[in-house]
Structure 1
Amino acid sequence: MHRDAPLFVLTLIALFPATGCERKPAAPANGGAPVTGPQVSVVRPEMRAVKRVVEQPGTILAFEETALHAKLPGLVGRIEDDPDKKDRPPQERQIDLGSRVKRAQVLAVLAIPELEEEWQQKNALVKQSESEIVQSQKAEEAARAGVAAAESGVTVAEAGVDRAQAQYERWQKEVDRIAKLLTGGVGDSQTLDETKNQLRAAEAGRKEATARVVAAQAAVKKAAADEAKAGADVATARAKLEVARAEVRRVDALRGYTTIKAPFDGVVTRRAVSTGDFVTGTEKAGLFWVARTDPVRVVVNVPEADAGLVAIGQDVRLVIQVLPGPEPTGKVIRTSWALEPGSRTLRTEIDLRNEKGVLRPGMYVHAKLTAELPSAWAVPAAAVGKLGDDAIIFLVEGSKAVRVTAQLLKGDGQFTQVRRYKKPGASDWTDVTGTEAIATPASALADGQAVP
């Protein structure tokens, strides 16, 4: 060994004391007693309202997002141009991802030639039905005139009956007169025979005139029937016209489906078609997706333990780390009321205005909901400890700490509300009254420990 080795060993021993030797705590500089642990104090519960701050992560979502589908099968005739891209090359002017659109703005137009042909046919049927109405109305006017003519014929025939009756009566009187003359020895039988022949001719004329009246009345009935039929034909033609117009409206409605329009002001977030694509109307992904981005909704899932603290109209402070500037604030607008079965959380939504579009769906946010709870007996948060699954506090009885199980309400980090407690071996709970002496901090205490 080197002759300087003993000195080297002594140096190492001086630098590194032997392991296992107990080191005493260093005395304070002022010469007082060494520090042994937290200072235990005794407090009494005080009635205090607690402001509970619920902090949970959240996500920004579009207020609503709609997938636009084609109702009819057809070819994509054209994709409309985005007005904001008018200075770009022609191939870059189409509406695409990120295009801002207005409500009812046309995004794309489908080409369905057979639908256009059907529309032309339905319009031709309307014109045909209108012509049939005019024709039926003319026929109705002719039938009405025929009724008037037939009624005039009845009048003429009735006049003929009167005339024939007068002739009959005249010759009847002549026969009676000549017959009296023959009885008195005046006149001859030949004249009487001729007069009787005239009477029989007058009677035949009377029967003929009566038959003409019957025929004229029948003609009136026929003309009235023709008039009624003509009126029915007009009604039928009008009904056919309404059917034809309804068909035009139906095809017109189908033609409206050939234009794909934005349902509201928003941004195109997805485009799945190009010019010339054949679409069937059954595409699951849709042709375009449009998101309404003003306002946006912030979705926060609040755990079951704090779900009862959430109320409509409650103020919420939001932290969006990727955005500089002041933290936005909002209010709770709606909740799902029911908890999600899997996560046991309450879906809570806050709406935020987004005129400048700086808030984007998918952004991460941190939400802070503040709820002021009713006043209750409260102790410093440090006075509450944990033993297994139970909350505990230490009552001071006879200058000793007595550990009891506590039933808590809510806390705000500084104070915790305590509802009641149960001593070891007791079966009933004891309500906190404010007269209890409670030792704190609980972390520095043990059951039965002396409390100064």
Structure 2
Amino acid sequence: MRRDLSFVLAAALGVAPAVGCNQKSPPPGGAAPAPATPITVVKPERRAIKRVIEQPGTVTAFEETVLHAKLPGFVGKIADDPEKANRPPHDRQTDIGSRVKAGQVLAVLTMPELDEEWKQKVALVKQAEAEVVQSEKAAEAMKAGVTAAESLVTVAEAGVDRSQALYERWQKEVDRIAKLLGNGVGDSQTLDETKNQLRAAEAGQKEATARVTAARAAVKKAVADEAKAVADVVGAKAKLEVARAEVNRLDALRSYTAIKAPFDGVVTRRSVNTGDLVSGTEKTGLFTVARTDPVRVVVNVPEADAGQVAVGQDVRLALQGPEQVGKVIRTSWSLEPGSRTLRTEIDLPNEIGALRPGMFVHAKLTIELPAAWSVPAAAVGKSGDDAIMYTVESGKAARVTVQLIKGDGQFTQVRRYKKSSATDWTDVTGSEQFASPTAALADGQAVP
């Protein structure tokens, strides 16, 4: 009944009815209908896939350093570029495009107050050196004073022995004369004189003993003075080290007056002229130096392929001139939050400077994926966010949602599939039958 109704409608519209399940009505004007897309049935095959990742890239300098002034000062001189010796005087300065060597002076700053402070510190070093010599001489003198004091102790002790002997002599003399007087020989005057001599000898003995005590005290004082002199030497030497450290500090600061290239490279920016006042806070810096041998080629690989990129992998690079082959040297490992891409870097030699930062590069990374169940790419389609395929069951196409691995444009690796009525996934085993191309199929369509 429906077929009869279709004939009636077709007659009313003046269009011939379609014959066959895949035939369409001819377009107005009598043109011949397009041939139907042939439907084929395929089975998954285990196949290793070589996937080519093609992404644009950019040449960047291997290093790029912005040189700032550490201390405030005036630009006293922009250094001459040795390679411009034959140019006019006004064009001999280091400028953008100048090729420089590591340590080459690009500009010199003037800081008069720093120079004067340096001179003062140098003078203080000389003063401290003189004080060290003076204290060392004083220490030597104090050491000699200890020796002299010790010799005086020896002399004083000898005086004690001498006075003791003299005392004993006069003591015996008094005893002898007193004995003679007892026997009625001699006179009392001689005894009195002898006793006076004895008392003099006794006083001399006490004096000699006091001299020993004084000499020993003098030794102690000399030893203390020597120790102080030695400490003065240590203090003078420490003061000298402090003075030298101050000179070294100012030498370090004065070294900052020379703005030097950190490595071999090219000056890509110059922001100062002779006489400019710089403070070290300039955002643009004084010079920018780029290291251009080697250069980095930066390629941002999309998230879908990021896991397949590995260090050491070959990369074909299309630049100006012949195609070059490089290797992945490093990756950022983590993806950029915004673009969700993996920063991949390839280093290229650039001895003659043919590659310049900012140049465009077309990169091709070939990745060989392990063997997995694969089907022709035409057998896979999209429905919204899902990948779909059609299985062949009882001669009809049944749409299934599939989970894919990777593809190379000709074949696509499939992990598993799920029917619309199922809740669990089914792993692909190779026994399945899939219809292709997906674009020419509909769910439930008969498959010859």
Distance, in Å, in 2 between the alignment partners of 1:449 and 1:319 is 47
Give the total of aligned pairs.
Answer: 423
Corresponding letter in the other structure for 2:41: V
Give CA-to-partner distance per residue, 1:117-176, whole Å, 9 cap, x none.
222222211111121122222212221222111111111111111111111111111111
Distance, in Å, in 2 between the alignment partners of 1:313 and 1:152 is 86
Aligned partner of residue 370 in structure 2, secondary structure: coil
1:388 aligns with 2:388: no
Give CA-to-partner distance per residue, 1:250-297, whole Å, 9 cap, x none.
111111000000000111110000001111111111000001111111
1:175-194 alignment, distance < 5 Å: 175-194=174-193
Distance, in Å, in 2 between the alignment partners of 1:288 and 1:240 is 41
Aligned partner of residue 341 in structure 1, secondary structure: coil
Q: CA deviation at 1:188?
A: 2.2
Q: CA deviation at 1:23?
A: 4.4
Give CA-to-partner distance per residue, 1:74-98, whole Å, 9 cap, x none.
1101001111111111011111111
Distance, in Å, in 2 between the alignment partners of 1:182 and 1:129 is 78
Q: For structure 1, which segment, 257-266 or 233-242, has the greater mean C-alpha deviation from structure 2 after superposition?
A: 233-242
1:49 aligns with 2:45: no
Aligned partner of residue 269 in structure 1, secondary structure: strand
Distance, in Å, in 2 between the alignment partners of 1:192 and 1:218 is 39
Distance, in Å, in 1 between the alignment partners of 2:271 and 2:148 is 74
Residue 357 (structure 2) aligned to one of 361, 385, 398 = 361
Distance, in Å, in 2 between the alignment partners of 1:447 and 1:236 is 100
1:7-406 alignment, distance < 5 Å: 22-26=28-32, 36-320=35-319, 323-324=320-321, 326-406=322-402
Q: For structure 1, which segment, 110-119 or 254-263, has the greater mean C-alpha deviation from structure 2 after superposition?
A: 110-119
Give CA-to-partner distance per residue, 1:201-251, whole Å, 9 cap, x none.
110111111111111111212222222222222222211111111111111
What is the alpha-carbon root mean square deviation over aligned residues?
1.6
Q: CA deviation at 1:35?
A: 5.7
Corresponding letter in the other structure for 2:125: V
Q: CA deviation at 1:25?
A: 4.7
Distance, in Å, in 2 between the alignment partners of 1:139 and 1:154 is 23
Give CA-to-partner distance per residue, 1:335-374, whole Å, 9 cap, x none.
1111111222221111111111111111121221111111
Aligned match of 1:31: none
Distance, in Å, in 2 between the alignment partners of 1:49 and 1:316 is 20
Give CA-to-partner distance per residue, 1:94-118, whole Å, 9 cap, x none.
1111111110000000011121122
1:411 aligns with 2:407: yes
Q: CA deviation at 1:24?
A: 4.5
Normalization by structure 2: what TM-score? 0.91
Q: CA deviation at 1:42?
A: 1.5
Distance, in Å, in 2 between the alignment partners of 1:268 and 1:372 is 42
Aligned partner of residue 179 in structure 1, secondary structure: helix
Structure 1: 4+ residue segments shifted above 3 A: 20-26
Q: For the structure 1 residues 177 and 308, does the alpha-carbon distance in structure 2 shift closer, same or farther, using more than 3 Å as the test?
A: same
Aligned partner of residue 317 in structure 1, secondary structure: strand
Q: Percent identity?
A: 76
Q: CA deviation at 1:433?
A: 0.8
Distance, in Å, in 2 between the alignment partners of 1:308 and 1:253 is 49
Corresponding letter in the other structure for 1:353: P
Distance, in Å, in 1 between the alignment partners of 2:229 and 2:260 is 48
Provide structure 1 residue ranges, at least 5 long, that are not aligned to the other structure.
Answer: 1-19, 27-33
Distance, in Å, in 2 between the alignment partners of 1:127 and 1:405 is 89
Distance, in Å, in 2 between the alignment partners of 1:149 and 1:430 is 110
Q: For the structure 1 residues 22 and 75, does the alpha-carbon distance in structure 2 shift closer, same or farther, using more than 3 Å as the test?
A: closer
Corresponding letter in the other structure for 2:360: Y
Distance, in Å, in 2 between the alignment partners of 1:333 and 1:342 is 24
Distance, in Å, in 2 between the alignment partners of 1:21 and 1:409 is 41
Aligned partner of residue 428 in structure 1, secondary structure: coil
Normalization by structure 1: what TM-score? 0.90
Distance, in Å, in 2 between the alignment partners of 1:77 and 1:21 is 85
Provide structure 2 residue ranges, at least 5 long, that are not aligned to the other structure.
Answer: 1-25
Distance, in Å, in 2 between the alignment partners of 1:60 and 1:98 is 17
Aligned partner of residue 295 in structure 2, secondary structure: strand
Give CA-to-partner distance per residue, 1:360-419, whole Å, 9 cap, x none.
111121221111111110000011112222211121222222222211111000000111
Distance, in Å, in 1 between the alignment partners of 2:183 and 2:423 is 155
Corresponding letter in the other structure for 1:356: I
Aligned match of 1:447: 443
Corresponding letter in the other structure for 1:96: D
Distance, in Å, in 2 between the alignment partners of 1:437 and 1:390 is 20
